[in-house]
Structure 1
């Protein structure tokens, strides 16, 4: 009898232990890795990109290129109901826990950003550190672009742009938490990186369709301002943090240098209206000097080009009635007692009184 009682107690205790009885097999769900949102004819279009585990880890005897990317597509009057239509018509549960990027059409950015913010707030599985992009491309085609060497698309700029932009890339990327922290700010500009499809520069037996950054969508004070291409935003690189180096070509591209760890300082000048002085300093390694120019001449041309790049970007922003380089933010952060918001918002091309660039050539690139 005593043994029977002990047996009952043990069985009861074992039932109280937590276990994995409700766990799902990892291959039993569709793991969405990117989402795309568009708006046409009064309806939202939702696209999902799902990757097979074979897309992520190479399997013996299986080529990545033989494993297609799963694209979901649905439309409805709001984003949530469109995604719900996908869930109702899938043969496997859809998971949002692994989404790394959201791509917005130009129409969404212009007209429906409030709906994107709403869906991000409603979904507990969408993380705030995901990347945010815009595009003029067909979303379905963009989500089916390739990576190199038959690797998963997880090794593309859509899912992992951080390392790429540290190496000679002039356009910054944006995470959703950075977007929300600036969206309601009364001063400054938000830039949503723009994706396009490049079909001309790489091939592996056949042409590769690669997602690339080609510009930025400009927003300020919750309003869409316009779009600027990569060349118009060259001045932006000197205000970007965390960038290791930039390649710069001058003198009809006969002189090439790599500028390492450039530093830019914005000085606020006191007066009736806020104005600014910009100083850029850095060191450069010389990699090309086809015309055998003197160091003094090369240095002068490099400094002139960088100054012109900054001025061009400021001018382009001025035409959009916005401070693309966020120069006026320094007044907002540190000098609100001196000027009100209205005065700081009146930033324009003439607010920048001086730009000084001092890049010193300290190395000559030598052959090994």
Structure 2
């Protein structure tokens, strides 16, 4: 009898390590989401889901074959976003894993018709998703955005949309926006934030075909319950000079002789100081930057270059600010600066977390070029 009991106990002990694995999901029997597109038409949510093929990305950064598709896009619709997700489940072959979701793309119609806050809430509350999901807005079909493959067929998980920080460090135009950062900004005065605005351009070619690529073309200005609009192109250029997150960005200026000089500005440092004048809030802006001269088409003194740089930076900051005012948007988060540094006056002036801004709310813009250097250590043109 004792031998039987001992044998039974040994059998049970041998089974214990297996018991924890019985309800696990096998990786090869799951589908992995990389991107989600959200549109809104005729009172219904249109959901586009990009499923990636990890067989092409697990072993190296480069896909194993040009013939094998890296991603496929599914579509479903519903009265709510959650209903659209469950409708999508009706057509999938395996269980869908949301743990690798990298980005969300919102159409212009979705931003106009749907409140952003409850949409983000769906992804925040789900246990598999993360706060480090990148957000984008577009006027192009979101399905087409999800079907774009990276240049030279690089692994899709390293695409510009799925991994935007790498290219931002080389050219800092519009800062990438994650769900975490968007939620923080919308919870603080001015309760508005920026989401990168992307367009599709056919500006790459291979021997076989023209390749479409996502281009950061500006920013969408959003709040928890409202969409202010897009600010794009030249009118969005001032954004990069008003954030300490800017790594480096190019500035090309024309001289009095009609020639041009190309300079890379980096090490951007911004200080915004609110001052009260006759009961109104005004703002003094101090910007520090270092410059590296890339192209000189005429011999010119450093002091003249600095003067040109300061003028164009001021012009771009003012142009962006004026364009945002037309949308009733506080694009430089001046309301938050007053909130942080003079909460008593902010409480007196604020309405729904924002203070009223006018064309002359920015009193002064001071630009300091701390170090202006050239890789050739000369400010003369190379060929006379």
TM-score in terms of structure 2 length? 0.89
Residues 24-60 of structure 1: CA deviation (Å, up to 9, x unaligned) = 3212111011111111011111110011122324689
- Is residue 161–residue 173 contact of structure 1 (8 Å, CA) maintained in 2? yes
Q: Where do 1:15-34 residues align within 5 Å? A: 15-17=15-17, 18-34=19-35
| Range moving further from structure 2, 354-363 or 271-280 | 354-363
Q: Structure 1 residues 61, 87: CA separation in 2 closer, same or farther (over 3 Å shift)?
A: closer
Output the aligned Cα RMSD.
Answer: 2.2
Aligned to 1:277: 284
The unaligned stretches of length 5 or more in structure 2 are 378-384
Determine if the alignment matches structure 1 residue 248 to structure 2 residue 251: yes
Which structure 2 residues correspond to residues 7-22 of structure 1 after superposition, within 5 A? 7-17=7-17, 18-22=19-23
Contact 2:288 2:368 in 1 (8 A): yes
Question: Are the aligned partners of 1:219 and 1:226 in contact in 2 as well (CA < 8 Å)?
Answer: yes
Mapped partners of 1:202, 1:331: distance in 2: 49
Partners of 1:221 and 1:83 lie apart in 2 by 22
Aligned to 1:323: 330
Residue 265 of structure 2 corresponds to residue 262 of structure 1: no
Moved more, 231-240 or 176-185: 176-185
**Which moved further from structure 2: 200-209 or 88-97?**
200-209
How far off is 1:91 after superposition?
A: 1.6
Aligned to 2:148: 145
CA positional deviation for 1:234? 1.1
Once the two structures are superposed, what CA deviation does each residue of 1:263-290 show, in whole Å capped at 9, x if it has no partner? 1111111231111111111221212110
Given that 2:37 and 2:49 are in contact with CA atoms closer than 8 Å, whether structure 1 keeps it comes out as yes
2:365 to 341, 355, 365: 355
Alpha-carbon distance in 1 for matches of 2:261, 2:224: 41
Change (3 A) 1:283 1:44: same
- Please give the secondary structure, in 1, of the residue aligned with 2:177: coil
**TM-score normalised to the size of structure 1?**
0.92
Q: Which moved more, 1:113-122 or 1:290-299?
A: 113-122
Q: Who is 2:126 aligned against?
A: 123
Q: Write the distance in 2 (CA, Å) between the matches of 1:94 and 1:151.
A: 24
Q: Offset at 1:193?
A: 1.1
| 1:185–1:221 Cα contact (<8 Å) kept | no
Checking the alignment, whether the CA contact within 8 Å between 1:54 and 1:64 is kept in structure 2 is: no
Q: 1:63 to 1:221 in 2, by over 3 A?
A: closer
The alignment status of 1:299 with 2:309, answered yes or no, reads no
Equivalent residue, structure 1, for 2:4: 4
What pairs with 1:22-171 in structure 2 (closer than 5 Å)? 22-57=23-58, 62-112=64-114, 113-171=116-174
Match of 1:197 in 2: 200
Contact kept in structure 2, 1:283 and 1:361, CA below 8 Å: yes
Q: Which residue of 1 aligns with 2:230?
A: 227
Structure 1, gaps ≥5 residues long: none
Note if contact 2:31-2:94 (Cα within 8 Å) is conserved in structure 1: yes
Partner Cα distance (2:268, 2:311) in 1: 15
Counterpart position of 2:382? none
Shift of 1:68: 4.5
What's the CA shift for 1:325?
1.2
Structure 1 residues 200 and 341, CA gap change in structure 2 (3 angstroms) = farther
Change (3 A) 1:61 1:119: closer
User: What is the Cα deviation at residue 10 of structure 1?
Assistant: 1.2
CA distance in 2, matches of 1:363, 1:202: 36
Q: 1:364 to 1:118 in 2, by over 3 A?
A: closer
> CA separation in 2, counterparts of 1:61 and 1:180?
35
TM-fit CA distance, 1:338:
2.8
